Structure 1
């Protein structure tokens, strides 16, 4: 989200500066180590600290902007059909792959999301985009499970996939990333099968 400072004056130049700060933060995250501060991103981008704070007043604001974003409303390929199992498998596979590809950024946001001082609207992990993607994949089941039932199943699926599950499966469970991805896909199908046998909890 742009600040009022960015929306006045030399907008194109300010957009470039903002993007340079975001790129620097992403590069620092990709290198590993401590979570980058606004000052560190500014130094990496050769931008003054004072200027950087005009764009990002806090570390959380910077990291939220640096988090991989997508405007996609669906994770499904064209012509996939109406089989819920096939649709769900494709959606989960794409979602998990995107998490693994941006794992360092995802882990950084996860650490911040666990901070009790973080408001729900501040970080991308709390916006629930994956739930909407899973609802889209499961939409053929609405006549059978109802829209509310599909939503509850999508919430359960999100609880079993994503960066939180990847961290546990790899760091605690000792799986490789490929093994973790296959486990999350298997779990998603198990949840779907159970939901078709026993309705999701109210």
Structure 2
């Protein structure tokens, strides 16, 4: 079994080099470039040979540039118990994250749609967990509402996929698209409550 380059020798230095390459990839993506390993190496001031030791191809590099968002919840500690207010808070933050990381998320979506592609981290369902967290009070106040299914429905109308459709196809500005996403989430929640 081959030992990965990064797990041998000066691991801290290698960690810093990897992070510099990832940061350079993110910076280029944010400027609208879909960079290859050589462009990222130049941006980071690292030799191409070294860069290829970390990322053998563009796909591996772009997957590593995915946003690292570890929050288990987007709600503040003093979050209200009203599910509508909670969802509004979560959707405000989720839309902000989506807009802040739009170039990287677009790249991850493109990579995830390639035939035979491994599913990148974009497909971990983190946003579904954030939405379920917002909807949690419904389990007690509206037990007939299927919170898990509602979270999936809300997620299907939000995120990078919706932003792309609303801006690229629908012709909306990012601000208009953000408002549509937020109001769609709220409408789905209100409909679920009314039907329960």
- Does TM, scored on the shorter chain, surpass 0.5? yes
What is the 5 A alignment of 1:129-168?
Answer: 129-143=126-140, 144-145=142-143, 149-168=146-165
Partner of 1:31: 31
* Residue 96 (structure 1) aligned with residue 123 (structure 2): no
Partner of 2:117: 118
Q: Deviations over 1:70-98 (max 9, x none)?
A: 11000012212210000001001100011
Alignment length (residue pairs): 193
TM-score between both structures, scaled by the size of structure 2: 0.91
Structure 1 distance, partners of 2:149, 2:102, is 26
1:183 aligns with one of 175, 180, 196? 180
Large movers: runs of 4+ above 6 Å: none
Partner of 1:66: 65
Gaps of 5+ in 1: none
Partner of 1:53: 52
Structure 2 distance, partners of 1:57, 1:69, is 21
Structure 2 distance, partners of 1:188, 1:43, is 42
Query: Offset at 1:146?
Result: 6.8
Q: SS at 1:6's partner residue?
A: helix
Structure 2 distance, partners of 1:132, 1:113, is 20
2:171 aligns with one of 171, 174, 180? 174
Q: Deviations over 1:112-153 (max 9, x none)?
A: 121122112xx1221110001101111111233479x21111
Alpha-carbon spacing, 1:127–1:146, altered in 2? closer, same or farther (3 Å): farther
Structure 2 distance, partners of 1:69, 1:126, is 13
Query: Offset at 1:109?
Result: 1.3
Partner of 2:81: 82
* Residue 105 (structure 1) aligned with residue 104 (structure 2): yes
Partner of 1:8: 8
Q: SS at 2:109's partner residue?
A: helix
Structure 2 distance, partners of 1:127, 1:184, is 20
* Residue 127 (structure 1) aligned with residue 95 (structure 2): no
Gaps of 5+ in 2: none
Q: Deviations over 1:136-177 (max 9, x none)?
A: 111111233479x21111111111011111111111112111
